[in-house]
């Protein structure tokens, strides 16, 4: 075993961990032997001071040669980051996730509280007997965190807007600090983020229900992102609903590029 430090997404030094590499590859759905093979390659190629983002890039490249589907799934976090740099696309994406879960969703609302103060609400998600007051906290860098201050403000707003059956939830593409989790658990604030709740985090929900963002597809060019979003094609599986010829003509996207994206979506969803 080689002992050296790498630079993580927060710019901090941490010991290189072959176990983390192995677990990361396995979470993409890759088999044990392939995960072991890639881990050995990374162990040989990694060097002191290498960034974990560079390690992830190399893992993705190796995976794509052996198992394209797992390679695309491995880049889920990066795919969500590509929804940025602003947070409004992330809000739309989370709206699609809650819609898939059976909620009626309304985005970007202004709601007046008991104090007569008006608040901007990212989303409301409603089911019989349940109403979520939703706040999205998007970070365009992987090392961001949702801290105690955010949860304090969220709960204060909730108290001013509270109605029967209403709950408040904070959704993020990154992690929560320990203090934010402790406070939220005590006050009954629901949290949904990366690896939280444990075994039920955002990434697990996405993978279980095939709710991958369209930005996870390797061939999606940045200038096409807004075109798909305006056409309400935010999920990767949405691209399978289009007529390639009509969509190509309407939006001036070369047909072969659309067909490549459709092929990648089918690979991701296990339809090939």
**Predicted local confidence at residue 140, as pLDDT:** 85
Shared-domain flag, residues 114 and 99: yes
Name the pairing type of β-strands 145-146 and 166-172.
Answer: unpaired
The total of structural domains in the chain comes to 3
Q: Are residues 56 and 104 in the same domain?
A: no
Q: Using alpha carbons, list the distances in angstroms from residue 94 to 84, 160, 260.
A: 13, 24, 26
Pairing of strands 166-172, 130-137: parallel
Q: Are residues 101 and 50 in the same domain?
A: no
DSSP 138: -
Please indicate, yes or no, if residue 83 is contained in any of the structural domains: no
- Are 101 and 188 contained in the same domain? yes
Measured CA to CA, the distance from residue 265 to residue 260 in angstroms comes to: 9
If asked whether residues 204 and 140 sit together in one domain, one would say yes
As to burial, measured by CB atoms within 10 angstroms (0-12 exposed, 13-18 middle, 19+ buried), residue 240 is middle
**Based on the domain organization, do 106 and 60 belong to the same domain?**
no
- Distance between CA atoms of 207 and 204, rounded to whole angstroms? 5
Q: Say how far apart CA 240 and CA 233 lie, in whole Å.
A: 10
Q: Which domain holds residue 39?
A: 5-67
pLDDT per position in the chain (272 positions), as tens? 568 999 998 899 999 999 999 999 998 999 999 999 999 999 999 999 999 999 999 999 999 999 999 999 999 999 999 998 778 999 999 999 999 999 999 999 999 999 999 999 999 999 998 999 999 999 988 788 999 999 999 999 999 999 889 999 999 999 999 999 999 999 999 999 999 999 999 999 999 999 999 999 999 999 999 999 999 999 999 999 999 999 999 999 999 999 999 999 999 999 98
Q: Is residue 80 part of a domain?
A: no
Q: Indicate whether 81 belongs to any domain.
A: no
Residues 96 and 194 occupy one common structural domain: yes
- Looking at the structure, tell me whether residues 35 and 131 fall in a common domain: no
Instruction: For residue 182, give the CATH number of its domain.
Output: 3.40.1350.10
Residues 125 and 183 in one domain: yes
Same domain, 189 and 253: no
Together in a domain, 187 and 140:
yes
Q: What are phi and psi of 131, to 5 degrees?
A: -135, 115
Residue 77 is assigned to a structural domain of this protein: no
Let me know whether 128 and 233 are in one domain.
no
Outline where the chain has alpha helix (H). Answer: 18-27, 32-45, 52-66, 68-74, 76-81, 88-100, 148-161, 178-187, 202-208, 222-230, 244-251, 255-268
């Amino acid at each position: 075993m080689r002992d050296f430090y790498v630079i993580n997404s927060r710019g901090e030094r941490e010991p290189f961990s072959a176990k983390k590499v192995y677990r990361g590859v396995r979470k993409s759905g890759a088999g044990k032997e392939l995960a072991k093979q890639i881990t050995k390659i990374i162990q040989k190629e990694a060097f002191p001071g290498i960034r974990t983002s560079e390690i992830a890039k190399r893992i993705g490249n190796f995976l794509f040669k052996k198992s394209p589907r797992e390679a695309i799934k491995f880049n889920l976090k990066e795919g969500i980051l590509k929804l940025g740099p602003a947070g409004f696309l992330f809000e739309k994406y989370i709206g699609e996730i809650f819609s898939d879960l059976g909620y009626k969703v309304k985005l970007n609302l202004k709601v007046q509280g008991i104090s007569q103060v008006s608040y901007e609400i990212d989303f409301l998600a409603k089911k019989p007997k349940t109403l979520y007051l939703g706040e999205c906290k998007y970070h365009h860098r992987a090392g961001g965190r949702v801290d105690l201050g955010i949860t304090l403000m969220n709960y204060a707003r909730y108290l001013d807007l509270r109605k029967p059956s209403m709950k408040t939830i904070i959704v993020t593409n990154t992690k929560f600090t320990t203090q934010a989790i402790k406070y939220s658990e005590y006050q009954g604030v629901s949290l949904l983020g990366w690896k939280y709740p444990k075994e039920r985090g955002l990434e697990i929900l996405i993978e279980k229900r095939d709710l991958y963002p369209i930005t996870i597809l390797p061939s999606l060019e940045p200038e096409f992102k807004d075109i798909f979003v305006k056409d309400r094609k935010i999920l990767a599986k949405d691209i399978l609903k289009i007529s390639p010829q009509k969509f190509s003509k309407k939006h001036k996207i070369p047909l072969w590029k659309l067909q490549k994206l459709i092929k990648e979506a089918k690979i991701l969803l296990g339809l090939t």
